[in-house]
Amino acid sequence: MINIENYHRPSSISEAVQLLQQGEATIVAGGTDLTPQIEAGARQFESTLINIQRVEEMRGISVTSGRYRIGGLTTVTDILESTTLAADIPVLVEAADHFASPQIRNAATLAGNLCNASPAGDMCIPLLLLDAQVELVSWIDESVSTRRLALCDFFIGPGKTVLQKNELLTAVEFKQPVAGFSASFQKSGPRPALEISTVAMGFAGVLEAGVLRGVRIAIGAVAPTPLRATATELVLEGRSLNESAIAQAVEAVQEEVKPIDDVRASAWYRTHLSGVYIRRALALFQGVTAHAA
Amino acid sequence: MQLEIEIKFSLNGRMVQTKVPPTMTTLVMLRENFDLTGGKLACGEGECGACTVKIDDRTINSCLMFAVDCDGREVQTIEGLGGVAGLEIMQQAFVDHGAIQCGYCMPGMIMQARYVVDQNTDKSHQLSRDDIARGLEGNVCRCSGYTKVVDAVAAVILDEASA
Ligand SMILES: Cc1cc2nc3c(=O)[nH]c(=O)nc-3n(C[C@H](O)[C@H](O)[C@H](O)COP(=O)(O)OP(=O)(O)OC[C@H]3O[C@@H](n4cnc5c(N)ncnc54)[C@H](O)[C@@H]3O)c2cc1C
Ligand code: FES
Ligand code: FES
């Protein structure tokens, strides 16, 4: 067992990244991923722990001139209870509603969910539909340095991201979706809660003069990272929603997913479910857009 | 030597102070440093809710939260719900409805039930049985079958609405 030599509790981003610059450290947020991983021996602490829970500037949801910002320490409960998001970006609230249990949602942070980089992580799915960016902060040349990166470029493998050891994920940002934007979130499982996704699918698009535009498809638990199904998006882009387009989308998505067999489901079942979900997502989309027209 | 951190927080309404290693969970601290053995270690993975306590105004699984993080916060456990004054109304309702069997899950279940009812500040919307069940979905009971648990919580909601 690693002996913890230092414990820090910074209260600002600047303080936190200066600590990270001093050498290997484990960042602790809600602990809902970290604690079970440590207990199971799947991961070890570094000798320095940095508890970021008191960095108040990393909490909260705000909108500035059409740009939404969700602080990294915002909890899944905060997202679920946000009246702003419920009105403007309901797909984020839907994903939060399917997340774990009330007690886990109260502790689980958005940054923790993204940095844990589980292929079955749920909050990245709606964020991928929104072309979200992550804000990564570090301490370079005696000052705070910030870079922004598309969320789809953030994940590189199960549990792996491009986050550097000296970086902190401070916020997620995205633009106000275009008028007519309609999005859905589906997650498999016999109960809404405490279910690690066997497949989660997000779909978004706009119906413009009878054809689909701006199609976004994000799928969880079917590849080493959360997947943007760009080939399937292309199949649907500019099409009118008829049975032939739907059948081609089902075929394309089943071709595009690269699932594995594990304790929760077989690769065959995940592939099958991806087809079912795209069909359902398109039906939902049709229902909503027909209703709006 | 193992690093220990000194922390200070409000525990069931009283300021307390203790020393904890940075990797100790809140559940272990409550049980070992304060002898508050209501919260139980069952799964230790966030799946069952037997360790549910309230931190500030939110319930959490204390088996997943590091004890050091309690510093400066308000912690409430089942022992602080009714206390020496007797049983709190939610606890009494569980007794009256025969919702408790072995009792192992109950300190967590009742903390969460109290939270679910208190969270609903919208008086025009009375929580349904489905709302109650969803609020308790992070709490597993291996004995009772949940029906009487929901009965007990529904009775408290009715009682408090008419009070
Ligand atoms: C019972 C149970 C059910 C669950 N159900 C779901 C579910 O339905 N859907 C789902 O997606 N997840 C689920 N999870 C996983 C987990 O709750 C989430 O991934 C959660 O959002 C993690 O956030 P946290 O704050 O607890 O992270 P922590 O455990 O504190 O940290 C997770 C990782 O991220 C790193 N980290 C945290 N914050 C930052 C930061 N700001 N910058 C850089 N690195 C950082 C940490 O070092 C660590 O490696 C579940 C977990 C449990 C125990
Ligand atoms: S013991 Fe904490 S959730 Fe089961
Ligand atoms: S009463 Fe026995 S586990 Fe719930």
Angle between helices A243-256 and A267-292 (to 10 degrees): 140
Total structural domains within chain A: 3
In this structure, the answer to whether residues A139 and A82 fall within a common structural domain is yes
Q: What percent of chain A has pLDDT over 70?
A: 97
Asked if B110 reaches chain A (Cβ–Cβ under 8 Å), the answer is: no
Name the residue with tokens 């978004």: A204
- pLDDT tens, position by position, A264-283: 788 999 999 999 999 999 99
Instruction: Kindly state the DSSP code that residue B25 receives in the 8-state scheme.
Output: B
Per residue, the 3-state secondary structure of chain A, as one string, reads CCCCCEEECCCCHHHHHHHHHCCCCEEECCCCCHHHHHHCCCCCCCCEEEECCCCHHHCCEEEECCEEEEECCCEHHHHHCCHHHHHHCHHHHHHHHCCCCHHHHHHCEHHHHHHHCCCCCCCHHHHHHCCCEEEEEEEECCEEEEEEEEHHHCEEECCEECCCCCCEEEEEEEECCCCCCEEEEEECCCCCCCCCCCCEEEEEEEEECCEEEEEEEEEECCCCCCEECHHHHHHHCCCECCHHHHHHHHHHHHHHCCCCCCCCCCHHHHHHHHHHHHHHHHHHHHHHHHHHC
> How far B45 CA sits from the closest chain A CA (Å)?
6
CATH number of residue A236's parent domain? 3.30.390.50
CA of A33 to the centre of ligand 1 (A): 4
> How many whole angstroms separate alpha carbon A156 and alpha carbon B154?
48
CA of A86 to the centre of ligand 1 (A): 23
Residues of chain B contacting residue A106, judged by C-beta atoms under 8 Å apart: 58-60
The reported pLDDT for the residue numbered A191 is 58
Residue A30 domain boundaries: 6-51
Output the CA–CA distances (angstroms, integers) from residue B57 to B75, B115, B125, in the order listed. Answer: 9, 9, 21
Using only C-alpha atoms, chain B has a radius of gyration, in whole angstroms, of 16
Domain presence at residue A56: no
Domain presence at residue A1: no
Q: For residue A3, what is the nearest residue in chain B, using CA coordinates?
A: B2
In this structure, the answer to whether residues A226 and A164 fall within a common structural domain is no
Is the CB–ligand 2 distance for residue B89 below 6 Å? no
> How many whole angstroms separate alpha carbon A291 and alpha carbon A162?
42
> How many whole angstroms separate alpha carbon B157 and alpha carbon B113?
10
Domain presence at residue A65: yes
Is the CB–ligand 3 distance for residue B100 below 6 Å? yes
| Choices 3.10.20.30, 3.65.10.10, 1.20.950.20, 3.40.718.10: CATH for B5-77 | 3.10.20.30
Is the CB–ligand 1 distance for residue A168 below 6 Å? yes
- pLDDT tens, position by position, A220-258: 999 999 999 999 999 999 999 999 999 999 999 999 999
Under a CB-based contact definition with an 8 Å cutoff, are residues A51 and A8 in contact? yes
- pLDDT tens, position by position, A10-50: 999 999 999 999 999 999 999 999 999 988 888 899 999 99
The reported pLDDT for the residue numbered B1 is 63
In this structure, the answer to whether residues A15 and A79 fall within a common structural domain is no
Please state which CATH number belongs to domain B82-162: 1.10.150.120
> How many whole angstroms separate alpha carbon A110 and alpha carbon A176?
19
Domain presence at residue A108: yes
Domain boundaries, chain B: 5-77, 82-162
- pLDDT tens, position by position, A129-160: 999 999 999 999 999 999 999 999 999 999 99
Residues of chain B contacting residue A77, judged by C-beta atoms under 8 Å apart: 58
In this structure, the answer to whether residues A84 and A187 fall within a common structural domain is no
- pLDDT tens, position by position, A171-202: 999 999 999 999 999 998 655 667 777 899 99
In this structure, the answer to whether residues A13 and A105 fall within a common structural domain is no
